[in-house]
Amino acid sequence: MEALERRVAAIWFLRAVGVGLVGGLAVLVVRPTVPVPALAAPAVGLGLTLVWGTHAALRYRRFRFALDDDGLYLERGVLVHVSTVVPYVRVQHVDTRRDPLERLTGLASTVVYTAGARDPDLRVPGLSPGRAAGLRDRLRTLAVARDDDAT
């Protein structure tokens, strides 16, 4: 099983800080109309940052993926652990994506679109751009090979 780049945990933690800031600002906005203690805004902001930051760390520790003989295997989830196998014959197409935070930190994601799945796409985040492109190309090659074997 392969792990994600450590930098993705930093991205997820930055998002946790954003959630904390928004929560703290929301308390400041309602404070003039609702009797709220003066320290409520920083307390809410810090609490949300700690909860979401812990979630980010646990999410990073849990996320693993591998390519085996049958397909792409993913393990993920914090409260609910999910193990998914995507057979190569179900792969419709594969993309690489880089959102602004990923570009800033030098990361990319591989997105796998599948046929007949509960979720139409699966995302493997937190990869270096070269690793994401390599995973995309390998999945595409294996999916075509399996599709040729199925016909």
pLDDT, tens only, 72-86: 999 999 999 999 988
Residue range 37-73, pLDDT digits in tens: 878 889 999 999 999 999 999 999 999 999 988 899 9
Residue range 97-109, pLDDT digits in tens: 999 989 999 999 9
Instruction: Please say which residue of 60, 87, 104 terminates a domain.
Output: 60
Is 1 a domain residue?
no
Q: Give me 33's structure tokens.
A: 């109309």
Q: Which of 59, 53, 55 is nearest to 17 (CA)?
A: 53
Same domain? For 76 and 139 the reply is yes
Same domain? For 39 and 112 the reply is no
Same domain? For 77 and 50 the reply is no
What's the structural domain count of the chain?
Answer: 2
Would you place residue 146 in the very low, low, confident or very high pLDDT band (cuts 50, 70, 90)? low
Alpha carbon distance 79, 81 (integer Å): 6
* Parent domain of 15: 7-60
Helix (H) or strand (E) holding 65: strand 64-67
Alpha carbon distance 82, 144 (integer Å): 26
Alpha carbon distance 85, 8 (integer Å): 23
Same domain? For 78 and 137 the reply is yes
Alpha carbon distance 132, 146 (integer Å): 21
The radius of gyration of the chain from alpha carbons, rounded to an integer in Å, stands at 20
